[in-house]
């Protein structure tokens, strides 16, 4: 069982109070740090031969509006970070857990920023462009 974050796109509008967004992100961070009371023993990343030999059903790590963040995406990023930092899963379990939380937080924050950018962008129809060009 993993931790799921839910960010409703409709509450994040162009006029949304950024304090509310900050509180939402802080709440998401707190949930990721506490594990949301979930049992995370099966959520540990697969590395090396273990990743190649085991197949698991992909689960949802978080929801941000209508976007889904998969556990496999988190585990893939974590495996790469563990490799790059030359961490040993047997000796550096606490560092890896902290790194996983940072990756989840980072991915959720990126999705929120992308959704804010989508909401703040101006959509212009082809008809409006044609009218402007004709004037």
Q: Tens digit of pLDDT for each residue in 5-59?
A: 455 544 445 445 555 665 565 555 555 554 444 434 444 555 555 544 444 457 8
State the DSSP H helix or E strand holding residue 75, giving kind and residue range, or none if neither: helix 71-84
Kindly tell me if the per-residue pLDDT of 106 is higher than 50.
Answer: yes
DSSP 90: T
User: What is the overall mean pLDDT for the chain?
Assistant: 71
Give CA–CA dist 133/130, Å, rounded. 5
pLDDT score at 38: 42
pLDDT score at 114: 82
pLDDT score at 109: 86
pLDDT score at 91: 92
* Percent of the chain with pLDDT strictly greater than 90: 21
pLDDT score at 98: 95
Kindly tell me if the per-residue pLDDT of 67 is higher than 60.
Answer: yes
pLDDT score at 44: 54
Beta strands 60-64 and 67-70 are antiparallel
- The tokens for 122 are 């101006």
Neighbours of 108 (CB within 10 A): 24
pLDDT score at 26: 58
């Amino acid at each position: 069982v993993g931790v799921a974050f839910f960010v409703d796109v409709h509450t994040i509008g162009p006029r949304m109070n950024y304090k509310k967004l900050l509180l939402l992100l802080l709440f998401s961070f707190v949930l990721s740090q506490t594990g949301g009371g979930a049992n995370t023993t099966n959520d540990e990343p697969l590395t090396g031969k273990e990743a190649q030999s085991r197949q698991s059903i992909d689960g949802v790590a978080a929801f941000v509006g209508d976007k889904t963040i998969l556990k496999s995406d988190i585990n893939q990023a974590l495996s790469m970070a563990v490799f790059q930092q030359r961490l040993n899963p047997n000796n550096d379990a606490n560092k890896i857990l902290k790194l996983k939380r940072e990756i989840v937080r980072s991915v959720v924050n990126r999705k929120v920023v992308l959704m804010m950018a989508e909401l703040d962008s101006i959509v212009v129809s082809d008809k409006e462009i044609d009218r402007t060009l004709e004037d």
